[in-house]
Structure 1
Amino acid sequence: MKQEVLFQKYLTELESQLSILTDKSEENALNTLYALWHTVAGNRVSPIKAIKLDLPILEPNQISDLDELIKCRLQGVPLAHLTERQNFMGLDYIVNKGLYIPRKETELLAETAIKLVLKDYSTQSKVSVIDLCTGIGTVALAIANYCKDTIILGSDIYKPAIEAAIINAKHFKLESRVSFYNSDMFDPFESMEIKNKVDIIVSAPPYISTVKVKQMAKEIAEHEPSEAFDAGPFGLSIFNKLISISPEYLCNNGYLIFECGLGQGEYLGKKLRSNVNYGEVTEICDEHGNIRVLKARRVSANR
């Protein structure tokens, strides 16, 4: 079968059967086919990068592999777990099966932190950053890539995620400025002499209630770790720890920046404003007007 005919056959199949999650809108039928096509050809890339590349001619065995990958995708296996790549902030991260897949919506958090570093810390020779619930190092590595004067520490309780974060740091050649720890939130930093010395703390923590985690789409529930989503009965447990402990590590005028779920922003903004350790609380909305990121400046409690 000619490659053009084969391509159209698979595209028609994907267009008629593929279910696309709302938070992965870039994974349409065309982009998906391009990404899987390049994967079987030996070039693992995200759909965002794949669509910009010319399609190679496939060998018969590669066509068989493509057929199998398309079947897996239509059965609900995440595209990123098939290609082992996910694009975030223009970078293609390595994502192995069973790991949390970075979402485009979290780019708002990374963009907020990067803009802050480039604007407010432009004259500072070293900017210290902690990334809590770092996952595969998504936000930490994006900041390190675009802000060359940052030194970043990341922590996550899920060991496979930290192993992937270390791999991604080497993948982007950022391992000299980013270190990852398999431990819960602030725990690995307790023994370090960094309290009141950190410029910025960022986090994209779990923020979905336990009940709702069990109701998530099968593509997520069956293939991504629940630890990446489950934030307890009300979806707020990690936020409470984040807001209460961060002032111990932030220097005066340092910043706490974190992502929140839909409908949580107003409450968390009030919680930050009621805490004497924070000032200049800013709610940052997505393109739909929903509060998805909060930024608060650390101030002296005696102000």
Structure 2
Amino acid sequence: MNPRSLDHLTTIILRDILNWAAEYLKSHNIPSARLDSEVLLSFVLNKDRTYLYVNSETRIQKSEVRRFKEFIERRGMMEPVSYITGEKEFWSLKFKVTKDTLIPRPETEVLVQTVLDIIRSQKSEVRSQKSEACLERSLKVKNLQSPIFNPIRILDIGTGSGNIAVSIAKESPESHVFTVDKSDSALSVAKENAIIHNVAGRIIFLKGDLYIPFNPPGPLFIKEGKERLFDIIVSNPPYIPTCDIEGLMPEVRDWEPRWALDGGKDGLEIIQKIIKDAPLFLESGGFIAMEIGFGQYEEVSRIISDIDKFHNIKTIKDLSGIERVVTAWKR
């Protein structure tokens, strides 16, 4: 069955259209042909993938066939599934994505988990030292009237779809996140995701590159009557060396925003800038957490050490055993 042979049919059996799609994608060198076909058909039918197996003899309507055929042809041109559907699951949440945003990766969940683990461990330490009443008083911000504003101030640099900021805000109600991105389009997507997941009241969206929205550096908040900076800086920066971009999978190289991938000559250009200026915006005793690429940990650790403003540099591995996240605490 070829694409044109589908056009004259009023309805098609689900099993047949799925088999056609898998063969079509396979002929276009899509390694995950069957899986992608199932995901796209599930999306078109607004059903889960189990439905496809249980109802393989069901007939689907011509309008659904037409839409599915369009999706499959787009996937055959190497367009990522997430850009076709306009969504990607991350942290068990559905995020809107567009071609203006990097598609969230599973390994970035390690970054989110790392930040949340540290926040929770800090709360546990405080609880062990104070009564619940004292803890509640210590979590109030004196210069803001709304009770939703709490003292853990987080800066998310290069927020993209907002997946990191939204996930942290969703899990950590005491956190207030400031997100920065140089793309108006990306910020628009991030705002939508914050609204969808009911955390827009605790996230501020700012346009700019890296720390530019906060220049000149200086105290940003009043906390417990004192001028304060950020408690946490988090980022999934571009870290792929420029010379490696052409060797990426076509789905990544030809479709995702290059500025969200390209980390300069050695892949460390943006990472170095973030680390260099972090002490100006980070509270003493606060920490920075960043996603890094394969084999970059030693060099990133050296960059952090050379600044001589941080200590307790650690790395966290992803599920593949790759050192994926680096953390460091400001002295």
TM-score, shorter chain, exceeding 0.5: yes
Equivalent residues in 2 for 1:159-198, closer than 5 Å: 159-190=184-215, 193-194=220-221, 196-198=228-230
Q: Count how many residue pairs are aligned between Structure 1 and Structure 2.
A: 286
> Once structures 1 and 2 are overlaid, which stretch shifts more, 136-145 or 194-203?
194-203
Equivalent residues in 2 for 1:20-39, closer than 5 Å: 20=31, 28-39=32-43
Cα separation, 2, equivalents of 1:221 and 1:29: 19
Cα RMSD for the two superposed structures: 2.3
Question: How far 1:132 sits from its partner (Å)?
Answer: 0.5
Does 2:270 match 1:238? yes
Give the structure 2 partner of residue 204 of structure 1.
236
Cα separation, 2, equivalents of 1:57 and 1:189: 57
Give the structure 2 partner of residue 82 of structure 1.
84
Cα separation, 1, equivalents of 2:287 and 2:86: 33
Q: Which amino acid aligns with 1:179?
A: I
Judged with a 3 Å threshold, the aligned counterparts in structure 2 of structure 1 residues 245 and 4 are, in CA distance, closer, same or farther, namely: same
Contact preservation (8 Å) 1:197, 1:249 = yes
Contact preservation (8 Å) 2:40, 2:85 = yes
Judged with a 3 Å threshold, the aligned counterparts in structure 2 of structure 1 residues 97 and 242 are, in CA distance, closer, same or farther, namely: closer
Cα separation, 1, equivalents of 2:118 and 2:300: 21
Judged with a 3 Å threshold, the aligned counterparts in structure 2 of structure 1 residues 53 and 84 are, in CA distance, closer, same or farther, namely: farther
Cα separation, 2, equivalents of 1:267 and 1:245: 17
Contact preservation (8 Å) 1:269, 1:283 = no
Cα separation, 2, equivalents of 1:117 and 1:187: 26
Contact preservation (8 Å) 2:13, 2:60 = no
Q: Which amino acid aligns with 1:51?
A: R
Judged with a 3 Å threshold, the aligned counterparts in structure 2 of structure 1 residues 247 and 196 are, in CA distance, closer, same or farther, namely: farther
CA deviations 1:119-147 (Å, max 9, x no partner) are 21355633111001111112111111111
Cα separation, 1, equivalents of 2:59 and 2:40: 13
Contact preservation (8 Å) 1:99, 1:224 = yes
Structure 1 stretches lacking a partner, 5+ long? 21-27
Question: How far 1:235 sits from its partner (Å)?
Answer: 1.5
Q: Specify the SS of the correspondent of 1:176.
A: helix
Q: Which amino acid aligns with 2:166?
A: L
Judged with a 3 Å threshold, the aligned counterparts in structure 2 of structure 1 residues 71 and 252 are, in CA distance, closer, same or farther, namely: same
Q: 2:113 aligns with which of 111, 114, 125?
A: 111
Equivalent residues in 2 for 1:1-303, closer than 5 Å: 1-14=12-25, 17-20=28-31, 28-41=32-45, 43=46, 50-51=48-49, 58-121=60-123, 123=126, 125=139, 126=150, 127-190=152-215, 193-194=220-221, 196-299=228-331
Percent identity between the aligned chains?
27
Cα separation, 1, equivalents of 2:232 and 2:70: 45
Q: Which amino acid aligns with 1:2?
A: I
Q: Which amino acid aligns with 1:286?
A: D
Report which of the two structures shows the higher radius of gyration computed on alpha carbons: 2
CA deviations 1:244-283 (Å, max 9, x no partner) are 2111122121110001111111111122233321111101
Cα separation, 1, equivalents of 2:122 and 2:234: 16
Cα separation, 2, equivalents of 1:155 and 1:186: 8
Q: Specify the SS of the correspondent of 2:295.
A: coil
Give the structure 2 partner of residue 24 of structure 1.
none
Question: How far 1:53 sits from its partner (Å)?
Answer: 5.9
